[in-house]
Structure 1
Amino acid sequence: MNSLHFKSFENFLLSSAIELELSTVVKDIVSACTDISKVLSCCTIEGLTGAIEQQNSSGETQKQLDVLSNQILKDKLCLNKSVKYIASEEENNVVSASPSGKFAVAFDPLDGSTNIDVNGSVGTIFSILPALKDGSPEASFFQAGNQQLCAGYILYGPATQLVITFGKGTYIFTLQPDANMFMLTENKTSIPKETSEFSVNMANTRYWKREFGNYIQHLLDGSSGPRQKPYNMRWVGAMVADIHRVICRGGVFLYPSDKREKLQTGKLRLVYEASPMALIIENCGGSAFNESTSLLSVVPTSLHQKVPVIAGSTNEVHTCLNYL
């Protein structure tokens, strides 16, 4: 076994000289996600899989586990003296934590929660930004993605995995349940520039703009079409799971804008989903754009702003952009 398999997440933080206060915040996020993982493992037995009569900030019906996961993360982070502000996809407004805190933490507590009822993969996405001294609490989250100090996600799949970047490389850790500890299993993972795999929701075909529809059709045409090679499509329906596949073996993840009134600016949230995923992808050699601009350069103007996402293997991302 390679020596990297023996390095725990805590030892990784120490050996990487991550700032102590930032380390405490990340460790609290990971600890909360470990608790969420335990809840998910018995959610069917406990009767926690259904929806509740309540909607989140985007008007989506919440699952019981959305609310519970959000509360677990919020409770943990509000006790951390280094956290000044918290923003969640499940909260309408910013939550203030410690007045002396240095960091602003944004998260999607349970991405892909509609997969819960069929025991599908789901995850938690998080982002850590410097908390601004001046301005409103929201202002700390209105920073471009390239200002993130750390971004990561937890995938709750056959194994629970942590994928994280501090801006220099992207690392994968796997939860060792008996020891309740994450161990380093992929050191500086890399996304290949070329791919023959794409991830998109084909049910939205009729709503796409013509240029994007042409791009997808040329992928489907395979070896006999303009791209002159076969492509495979994969779609889980949870951004965490679909992006994780791209990170592990290449591919391109696509969630474009479309003609529907509420999706003309995209579906995925910039602060909680697109921006942290962009930092992770770019730090393992991939690219992440909206339909014209690097996602890491986009400055949010609202907490729940939505954007299109085209991310993954660099050459395929730029090919898609050329169509658009």
Structure 2
Amino acid sequence: MSEKLSLPIGTTLSRFIRERQEQFTYASGELSQLLRDISVAAKVVNREVNRAGLTNILGKHGAQNVQGEEQQKLDVIANNLFIKSLSNGGEVCAIISEEDENITDTQNPHGKYVIAMDPLDGSSNIDVNVSIGTIFSIYRRQSPVGSPVQESDIFQKGTEQVGAGYTLYGSSTMLVYTTGHGVNGFTLEPSLGEFLLSHPDMKIPTKGKIFSINEGSAVDFGQAVKNYVSDCKKNKFKGRYIGSLVADFHRNLLKGGIYVYPSTKSAPNGKLRLLYECNALAFIAEQAGGKSSNGIQRTLEIEPTELHQRCPLYIGSKEMVERAESFIMAGENVEK
């Protein structure tokens, strides 16, 4: 019997992690516990999201985050919940979050891992009941355990991730993750309070027919991006753009497609953050047989130099990303 069939639908996340622990590069138990801590925090955030309209936690928080973006109340709640859960778990020495200007020291000097996260992606959709999510990356610290956190622990390329995933809070709540041995998806069964294996060994179709890009910003696109969008339309691809990165990525992962957030005149480095969003989803995409780049360079090989570094993103079905790259590179050659 194949490995895929030996773990039936209905396997709990905890059992799945336990049975796959030997696949982890550092199979000492901490990474398994860390994934469980993330799942517990996700359940709590899911609860808050589901009752948001009843508890006066919808709407703006009244402050801006370090990105200059208006924080929603749920942004702050989700950020605090994940930081508390991960800090209490003891496996994490530091957390970096899209919502925080600086590194959060968890006061766990013996923690072996660093977490980068977007605690609640899709904030602009919170008030209108559209799917939102959490994105996370897991890195093994580079400095000696027990010592203060160093920049080398934080500024690691995406290739150094030992795990990454996202939680999608939608019509059902899903947790999708990889530790470098394929991608698996779990759906929350509310009556049991358990994530159950529902999407084993997820694979993104090599070819797709969906392109996801905010055409409302088309006036700011470079000519190469405009040409690629025109090419998608000539091929009669479907335009689908939710505005929540996790939701757009998840749909394309299942059905085949490409998500594009390019550089623009107003945002020459793009809008998405390399450490909090791009690296995690790029790791998942590659493990599912897809591809991710900034149009020229593989996302996972981009050198991070800033905590909130931005990066253009072309991610999804392999052939679609390669087609987009051909337009971007052709445009680069024309400019040169």
TM range, normalised to the smaller chain?
Answer: over 0.9
CA shift, 1:136, in A, is 5.2
Q: Which residue of 214, 224, 227 maps to 1:214?
A: 227
Taking the aligned partners of 1:192 and 1:284, their CA distance within structure 2 comes to 9
SS at match of 1:307: coil
3-state SS of 2:232 partner: helix
**Equivalent AA in structure 2 for residue 204 of structure 1:** S
Counterpart amino acid of residue 47 in structure 1: N
Per-residue CA distance 1:247-293 (angstroms, 9 max, x = gap): 11110000000111xx1011000000000000000000000001210
**Distance of 1:114 and 1:206 partners within structure 2:** 22
Q: How many residues align?
A: 314
Q: 2:231 & 2:321 partners in 1: Cα distance? A: 14
Alpha-carbon separation, structure 2, partners of 1:35 and 1:140: 28
**Percent of pairs identical after alignment?**
36
Closer, same or farther in 2 for the Cα pair 1:50/1:137, shift >3 Å? farther
1:113 equivalent to 2:123? Answer: yes
Aligned with residue 193 of structure 1, among 197, 203, 206: 206
**Structure 1, unaligned runs of 5 or more:** 223-228
**Which aligned segments of 4 or more residues in structure 1 are displaced greater than 3 angstroms?**
134-138
Instruction: Name 1:205's counterpart in structure 2.
Output: 218
1:69 is matched with: 78
Match among 278, 285, 301 for residue 281 of structure 1: 285
Map 1:13-32 to 2 at 5 A. 13-17=17-21, 18=24, 19=27, 20-32=29-41
**Could you say what secondary structure the match of 2:8 adopts?**
helix
TM-score (norm. length: structure 1): 0.95
CA contact (8 A) 1:94 1:138 kept: no
State the SS of the aligned residue for 1:235. Answer: coil
2:64 match: 55
Q: Which residue, 282, 290, 296 being the options, matches 1:292?
A: 296
SS in 2 for 1:38: helix
Q: Gapped runs of 5+ residues in structure 2?
A: 329-336
The question of 1:308 aligning with 2:318 is answered no
User: Which residue of the other structure, out of 318, 323, 333, is the alignment partner of 1:319?
Assistant: 323
Q: Is the 8 A contact 1:85 1:137 kept in 2?
A: no
Retained in 2: the 8 A contact 1:96–1:137? no
Question: Residues 175-222 of structure 1: CA distance to partner in whole angstroms, max 9, x if unpaired?
Answer: 0111110011111111111111100000010000011111111222x2
Amino acid at match of 1:104: V
Is this contact kept in 2: 1:94–1:137, CA < 8 A?
A: no
TM-score, structure 2 length as denominator?
Answer: 0.91
Q: Report SS of the residue matched to 2:111.
A: coil
Match of 2:171 among 120, 142, 158: 158
1:143 aligns with 2:153: no
Aligned amino acid, residue 214 of structure 2:
N
Deviation at 1:79, TM superposition (A): 1.1
